[in-house]
Amino acid sequence: MATPRSELSKDIEVTGTMKFQGELIFEGKFNGDLIQGNSLVVGEYAEVHAKSIIVDNLTSAGLVEGDAKVAMRCHLKETAHLQGSLKTFRLAMDDGATFTGGLEISKPANIGAKKAG
């Protein structure tokens, strides 16, 4: 089964909570408490202001402000601005990307739980 893919264009403004499955390409403006889902792609002109962002993968070319927990990979493209705390397993930043806040890089939850035997 194919992974669901959704896109919200630049004329969309969301307030409150946004939950999704699969990949979400977000080009609009978000202001609220929570964004939760699998793979979030924030467009170059998008603005995300969230108290909490909980995703498996985050790719951003726009503005993200808030506390982000990214289970696998966070990629900040050259036009990205991330403000707030970030907890992730893997971080990639292109030249030009900016990050202000606390950073914690940790192993995924499923690593270390298995014992050789």
> What is the DSSP-derived secondary structure letter of residue 46?
-
User: In the numeric block, which tokens belong to residue 50?
Assistant: 């969230």
Q: What is the pLDDT of residue 109?
A: 58
Distances (CA, A) of 110 to 27, 33, 76, 113: 32, 27, 24, 6
Is the per-residue pLDDT at 26 higher than 80? yes
- Please state the pTM of the whole predicted model: 0.88
User: In the numeric block, which tokens belong to residue 98?
Assistant: 């900016």
- Rounded to whole angstroms, how far apart are CA atoms 41 and 58? 6
DSSP string of 74-110, one letter each residue? EEE-TT-EEES-EEEEEEEE-TT-EEES-EEE---TT
Is the per-residue pLDDT at 93 higher than 60? yes
Q: Encode pLDDT of 56-86 as tens digits.
A: 999 999 999 999 999 999 999 999 999 999 9
Is the per-residue pLDDT at 108 higher than 90? no
